[in-house]
Amino acid sequence: MKNFLIALVAGLSLVFLSAVAEAGGGTKNNGQIRVVNNGSGTLVVFLNSGTNGNTTAINILPGTTVTTTLQTQFNQSGGRTVTAGGSTTFTNLAAGDYTLTGEYLDTTTTEGLTLTGQTSTQTVHVNKGQTVTVTFTGDATNASATVSPSGAAR
């Protein structure tokens, strides 16, 4: 009888562990969002959880000079700089909605100055273990984003 109970408990444990493995096995934050810059200039990008973009970046008017203070604010807000043709990846993300706020910097209008451009936002949904790629194209006057896989776009 004792052996039967041990075998029963072991069998149920195996069934339970198999069910957990099929369901994804735990709650690790292992989603990723890869940002690609297909534009002609430098892209500054921010990641926020949920469906709202980075309101600080959105509220900065296009054509604002990027001062040391503004650069510090970008960095403290978790902003990342992506050069033309480059990419960056946000890792260890839990499943859920995220919004990227992207903005191309403008160095063509006034020599020696870097100015902010028009912001663009893109909300995506990341599943557990999934990598979503958001590709920004454009310049300081107009930026747009495409999402792959397309079903992740919100």
The band of 47, judged by pLDDT with boundaries at 50, 70 and 90, is very high
Domain at 28-152, CATH from 2.60.40.1120, 3.40.50.1240, 3.40.50.11440, 2.40.33.10: 2.60.40.1120
Q: Where are the domains of the chain?
A: 28-152
Report pTM.
0.79
**111 has pLDDT over 90:** no
pLDDT at residue 21, as a whole number: 42
| Rounded mean pLDDT, 137-143 | 92
pLDDT at residue 16, as a whole number: 44
* Half-sphere exposure (Cβ direction) of 90: Cα atoms closer than 13 Å: 24
pLDDT at residue 103, as a whole number: 95
Q: How far is CA 44 from the centre of its chain?
A: 12
pLDDT at residue 109, as a whole number: 74
Map the chain to HEC letters: CHHHHHHHHHHHHHHHHHHHHHCCCCCCCCEEEEEEECCCCCEEEEEEECCCCCHHHHCCCCCCECCHHHHHHHHHCCCEEECCCCEEEEEEECCEEEEEEEEECECCCCCCCCECCCEEEEEEEECCCCEEEEEEEEECCEEEEEEECHHHEC
pLDDT at residue 28, as a whole number: 73
